[in-house]
Structure 1
Amino acid sequence: MSKILWKPQSVKSTNMYQFIDYVNKSNKTSFVSYDELYTWSINNASDFWSAMWSFSDLIYSKNYLEVVDDINKMPGAKWFSGSRLNFSENLLRYKDDKIAIQFKGEDISVRTLTYKELYQEVEILASAFRKNGLKKGDRVVGFLPNIPETIIAMLATASIGAIWSSCSPDFGIKGVLDRFKQIKPKFLISTNGYRYNGKVFDLTKKLNGILGDLDSLEQVIIIPFVNDISNKSIKNETCYYDDFINRNIFDSLVFEQLPFDHPLYIMYSSGTTGLPKSIVHSAGGTLIQHLKELMLHVDLNRDDSIFYFTTCGWMMWNWLVSSLAIGSTIVLYDGSPFYPNSSSLWKLAEDLQISIFGTSAKYISACQEAKVKPAQNQNLDHLRVVLSTGSPLVEENFDYIYNDVKNDVMLSSISGGTDLISCFALGNPTLPVYRGEIQCRGLGMAVESYDTNGNFHYNQKGELVCKIAFPSMPIYFWNDESGEKYYQAYFSTYPDIWYHGDYILINNHGGIIIYGRSDATLNPGGVRIGTAEIYRVVDNFSEVSDSLVVGQEWGEDERIILFVKLASNQKLSDKLINDIKFSIKKSCSPRHVPAKILMVDDIPYTISGKKVEIAVKKIINGEEVKNKDALSNPQSLKLYRDIKDLQQ
């Protein structure tokens, strides 16, 4: 069994404990453990989601007639039929002087908005939207950095019942058009530029390329985020944000009362294997799922300050923003996490007294490699939770957090995806943290790991599936009238069961270990190996700054190829190769040992920070990579073509 790194000290003060007490009183049950509550939430899903509806104090104008029509109907289960609510109304329930948003950008002083100010800003923009013809069902898109105006625009959009979608400004023209052209937006909001790693990036050229190919647009609104950049050379009819709104004359904010399954967000798949899928999420499903996760699994309260290092092109932005419904303070940061130095985000946590700090596994690994030691250099007394997602958090990263960041935080590795705009596995303030494990499966999420015969076994690796419906499933894909693309994405492998595409293990105490994406799983000699198993070993070598492992077709079999990007002034010597192979063999098995270890100058990543194993696998197996615009460094793919060492 893995080592326990953290134990809860005050279980009875947590929202999860209060929820168990609420369920016991409401349902005449006598649960004392999370395991009992979780089992009940699966076997009595309708009762569970009904309890969540009440416990979270949702704002609605009309109550539901039925929680769910058929929990086993996937896709197509109907949730909370008959109810009417508005997503923005729930996020703007508070109108007081408590700080709602704190924003920090590179070389920019901290800017704050109270809940009262946020409400008024949304009110002003929503009034301008309505006066300019925005209606329920229209699409508004943001090509925006992670700034308060992005949240204001989303909330104003949702208050009307229009649909919000966004891309971060580091996307290329084709990447943006591949997404926005599918959904035919009516309004587009952008900044004139953004800052990253001490540099200013002018968005004029990108905007001209985007606007020239988006015929559906009726209004383009520019936020002058960066000084000394003019929008005069931007095509089409554009106006500045302050000219579009009227701060002196505006209508009162009206929250359109809409069905639970009214569309709220259009999200996008990575698009690394073709045109991105446009995934539509409902207002009600997103709201109740996020409240469940934030209130119960994160233990978020009104007096918390929650931060997530994200862009508005990643679902963690949507997840973070939902914290407003709890009345917490959310912290936004836009820029490089290592500007002006490698301790910048931890300094932000100190300065703004952040209590819940969210980031990616890649960032934690980079801090560990750079020997960043916040425990020595920052006062993090307020910090009580660290969240990590984006890729598996390896055991050594757990050690780093507890040794070098803070020894009494709840470290919650969380895992889910854009497809469900939420999590399948995540943290729990009533359970211990085990080294290298995600604490638990989420309430109401019937997650199992299936073997090749479709059977679930504890302590056995398998495919992540979800056996019953949940409210935050996509309501549909855009431009998929027959529903065929939606069905093929999740239900073609196991009919009526959600297939997620992660390779996982669930152990006896309910902990989850994720070994990587199923389609990137290695298969030498017919034995399935998760890529994360190899990364966990390679990450321990200080000589290696990054790595990527893929399978290469070789005769009738597959062999493992490990690419390594070396740290400064390091060489890929025979000794280093042998040391890596020996360590992999010792820690994993002889079958895990790569057939070849090769040096590369760069590792490809998506814009949201995930390694692109599939694209490299395609290249070394002689296949074409169709879409490179989802990558932050697409030029790196050239490094993997025609490698002589892979021909022998």
Structure 2
Amino acid sequence: MGKLLWTPTETQVRNSNMYAFMTGVNKKYGKNIDGYEALWQWSVDNIADFWAEMWDFAEVISSAPYEQVIDDPARMPGAGWFPGARLNFAENLLRCRDDRPALVFRGEDQVLRRLTYGELYDEVARVAKSLRKMGVQAGDRVVGFMPNMPETIIAMLAAASIGATWSSCSPDFGIKGVLDRFGQIRPKVLFTANGYYFKSRKLDSLERITDILKQIDSVEKVVVVPYTEETPDISGVPGAVLFEDFRADEAGLEIEFEQLPFDHPLYIMYSSGTTGLPKCMVQGAGGILLHQMKEHLLHTDLKREDHIFYFTTCGWMMWNWLTCALSVGATLILYDGNPFHPGPEALWQMAEEEKISVFGTSAGYIAALMNSGLKPREKFDLSSLRALLSTGSPLSAEGFDFVYEEIKKDLQLASISGGTDINGCFALGNPIGPVYAGELQCRGLGMKVEAFDEDGKPVLGRQGELVCTAPAPSMPIYFWDDPDGKKYHSAYFDVYPGVWRHGDYIEINERGGVTIYGRSDTTLNPGGVRIGTAEIYRQVEMLEEIEDSLVVGQSWKNDVRVILFVKLLPGFDLTDALKNNIRQTIRANASPRHVPAKIIEVPDVPYTLNMKKVELAVKKTIEGRAVLNRDALKNPEILDYYAEIKALRED
């Protein structure tokens, strides 16, 4: 059992949204639920009733009521949610239109901007009018190649108000990474900043946009937001217009919110690209709204007076998650750049100045902060901070201890875990329950999460596959270009028919706490960002010196580091120059996050008998775990070589 680190006071419990929700359930259904685990059990035993109560508690704005909550709770995938309802995602996020702050933006270059809810509504109205004027309609794709800045949220909300589908990549993605994503969905409009900052360097985006447009002929307009320059030269970008010239001139416009079905496509998110091109996961507006409002209102206890921050880029689902906090009326703190620039104190100085109450980051950031020697509690006034959220990879028990010892003793540390697939969490925080070191506090309400053993049976107190045995409204409505649903089915339902298999190893204890042991597939998670091996292979294996390669994520110092093994063609050596060329190729065409921590020459790459690379076997080997299926390998003896590589035991 993990060490008890924090328990909410009785006052904190009774003042929470979770307690108010639980009280409402007890009153309406004649229950006597007196704690979280009992509430969770009720929520998964009564799926339709729970989500109906969540709809009411979140005060979802809709122009037509739903006829039923779910048409078939036993069908997964394919259950239909809230048929008959008509709503608009952007209308729900723009319900507040007053002078309270909505967005506060701080760039690495020390740009500081503030927008009130009234100003945000006006900005969205002006962009939405311009999108309509150029012919954007419901179902069209509008995309962003943007830093985490206000214009990104404005563009997304403007698109959503019309019923267009939004997708985004962060500007550190290389050309190939963007084409692998946007090239599949054929967007009509592309929003981009002229550049971005990283470690005080100005980096250009427009040259890459020009190259991207040569291969995506569907884009009719490129809207350029000046960021690193006040008047960027856009003459070389086909169809480009400056943001200020694109948006309508009028102030005081009313937004025409298209009223659409609950499952109307809102977002296209992307899988990691492990086995080829990233899969394009289409997510419905109503499902994302309801699921994320549940997580904000109940699990994060978010209220209007809160200032919420999450360190994220627009290429990570936490950006989408953070944006939905507008539906609660909270103030969103946006930051773009390196979190350690000019030093490790950067985000904590901001937390003090902006009175951040909910601070979100990754386990990798916390580990780096530990190594930096900074003790935020000694240097900054963090009296406003009441919750710290960590995701991306499992937070170690030492990380938990560091938060309470060196950041703040009296706060809720919520280690959270879910996926891009559902744009939210399977296990996360519970403001009315205790925090134990190394443990996620609870399974999410309405999420029937279990750990399955090797026989597909639920287990407590031992490791198993993370599965979800009942449908949830934020599961993808379909995959792009998957008319028969085969890609969707194979992604989650091939192992356990009718049960969502997520690909994590977890343990659920008797009190409902969850421990994550990492991915059960071969997705990489350096710094908490999911990336796929196929995206690295595509870059490495086009180099003339490389005969073959293999990529794994090695668990290392409470994080994951990417290890690239290369088999060279005869006559070539793994020189420093070749290593640099490999790194530069990956950085330019994938992203900086794809660059391996180590590049190691090997004599051979292990394959299965049907000629598939066995990444997981190598990962287990270099981490000292047993490989039980060596007989299935074409060349099993090579694993012994990997087990003896000294460089894998060094920094």
Contact 1:128 1:250 in 2 (8 A): no
Q: Which of 475, 483, 492 is the matching residue for 1:481? A: 483
Q: Give the superposition deviation at 1:231.
A: 2.8
- State the AA in 2 paired with 1:8: P
- Residue by residue, what CA displacement relative to the aligned partner does 1:277-315 show, whole Å, maximum 9, x if unpaired? 100110000000001011000000000000000001100
Trace 1:369-380 onto structure 2 (pairs within 5 A). 369-380=371-382
- State the AA in 1 paired with 2:406: D
Q: Which of 72, 75, 82 is the matching residue for 1:73? A: 75
Match of 1:294 in 2: 296
- Residue by residue, what CA displacement relative to the aligned partner does 1:193-222 show, whole Å, maximum 9, x if unpaired? 111111000112211111111100111111
**Aligned in 2, Cα 1:507/1:635: closer, same or farther, shift over 3 Å?**
closer
**Aligned in 2, Cα 1:450/1:88: closer, same or farther, shift over 3 Å?**
same
Counterparts of 1:86 and 1:634, CA distance in 2:
36
Q: Which of 214, 217, 228 is the matching residue for 2:216? A: 214
Match of 1:646 in 2: 642
Secondary structure at the aligned position of 2:427 is classed as strand
Q: Give the superposition deviation at 1:618.
A: 9.6
Q: Give the superposition deviation at 1:631.
A: 4.6
Contact 2:427 2:443 in 1 (8 A): yes
Unaligned runs of 5+ in 1: 522-530, 536-544, 547-601
Q: Give the superposition deviation at 1:371.
A: 1.1
Match of 2:596 in 1: 636
Of the structure 1 ranges 380-389 and 271-280, higher mean CA displacement relative to structure 2 is found in: 271-280
TM-score by length of 1: 0.84
Q: Which of 398, 401, 404 is the matching residue for 1:399? A: 401
**Aligned in 2, Cα 1:282/1:465: closer, same or farther, shift over 3 Å?**
same
Q: Which of 126, 142, 145 is the matching residue for 2:144? A: 142
1:491 and 2:451 matched: no
Match of 1:230 in 2: 232
**Aligned in 2, Cα 1:610/1:312: closer, same or farther, shift over 3 Å?**
farther
Q: What percent identity do the matched residue pairs reach?
A: 51
Q: Give the superposition deviation at 1:273.
A: 3.3
Of the structure 1 ranges 303-312 and 34-43, higher mean CA displacement relative to structure 2 is found in: 34-43
Counterparts of 2:567 and 2:99, CA distance in 1:
55
- State the AA in 2 paired with 1:185: P
Counterparts of 2:601 and 2:72, CA distance in 1:
50
1:16 and 2:18 matched: yes
Contact 1:449 1:463 in 2 (8 A): yes
Q: Give the superposition deviation at 1:637.
A: 7.2
Q: Give the superposition deviation at 1:271.
A: 1.6
Counterparts of 2:352 and 2:232, CA distance in 1:
36
Secondary structure at the aligned position of 2:256 is classed as coil
Match of 2:2 in 1: 2
Counterparts of 2:116 and 2:251, CA distance in 1:
21
Match of 1:569 in 2: none
Trace 1:208-287 onto structure 2 (pairs within 5 A). 208-227=210-229, 230-248=232-250, 252-287=254-289
Q: Give the superposition deviation at 1:235.
A: 2.9
- Residue by residue, what CA displacement relative to the aligned partner does 1:476-496 show, whole Å, maximum 9, x if unpaired? 000001100000000000000
Contact 2:145 2:171 in 1 (8 A): yes
TM-score by length of 2: 0.83
- State the AA in 2 paired with 1:91: L
**Aligned in 2, Cα 1:46/1:387: closer, same or farther, shift over 3 Å?**
same
Counterparts of 2:82 and 2:567, CA distance in 1:
46
Q: Give the superposition deviation at 1:178.
A: 0.4
Counterparts of 1:232 and 1:285, CA distance in 2:
38
- Residue by residue, what CA displacement relative to the aligned partner does 1:95-144 show, whole Å, maximum 9, x if unpaired? 10000000000122321000000000000000011011110100000000
Contact 1:270 1:630 in 2 (8 A): no
- State the AA in 1 paired with 2:642: L
Q: Give the superposition deviation at 1:250.
A: 8.0
Counterparts of 1:185 and 1:171, CA distance in 2:
17
Contact 1:127 1:252 in 2 (8 A): no
Q: Which of 1, 26, 29 is the matching residue for 2:28? A: 26
Q: Give the superposition deviation at 1:64.
A: 0.3
Q: Give the superposition deviation at 1:646.
A: 3.3
Secondary structure at the aligned position of 2:592 is classed as coil
Secondary structure at the aligned position of 1:220 is classed as strand
- State the AA in 1 paired with 2:438: G
Q: Give the superposition deviation at 1:226.
A: 1.2
Q: Give the superposition deviation at 1:237.
A: 1.6
Counterparts of 1:497 and 1:478, CA distance in 2:
21
Contact 1:390 1:610 in 2 (8 A): no
Q: Give the superposition deviation at 1:616.
A: 4.5
Counterparts of 1:392 and 1:619, CA distance in 2:
32
Counterparts of 2:251 and 2:286, CA distance in 1:
32
Match of 2:637 in 1: none
Match of 1:92 in 2: 94
Secondary structure at the aligned position of 2:63 is classed as coil
Counterparts of 1:431 and 1:460, CA distance in 2:
22
**Aligned in 2, Cα 1:635/1:82: closer, same or farther, shift over 3 Å?**
closer
Unaligned runs of 5+ in 2: 529-550, 569-582, 605-640, 645-651
- Cα RMSD (Å) of the superposition? 2.6
Counterparts of 1:83 and 1:92, CA distance in 2:
19
Moved over 6 A (4+): 602-605, 617-620, 625-628
Contact 1:305 1:354 in 2 (8 A): yes
- State the AA in 1 paired with 2:596: S
Match of 2:179 in 1: 177
**Aligned in 2, Cα 1:637/1:197: closer, same or farther, shift over 3 Å?**
closer
Aligned length: 566
Secondary structure at the aligned position of 1:49 is classed as helix
Secondary structure at the aligned position of 1:61 is classed as strand
Q: Give the superposition deviation at 1:232.
A: 3.4
- Residue by residue, what CA displacement relative to the aligned partner does 1:162-190 show, whole Å, maximum 9, x if unpaired? 00000000000000010001001000010
Counterparts of 2:389 and 2:153, CA distance in 1:
21
Counterparts of 2:253 and 2:102, CA distance in 1:
23
- State the AA in 2 paired with 1:182: Q
Counterparts of 1:647 and 1:433, CA distance in 2:
37
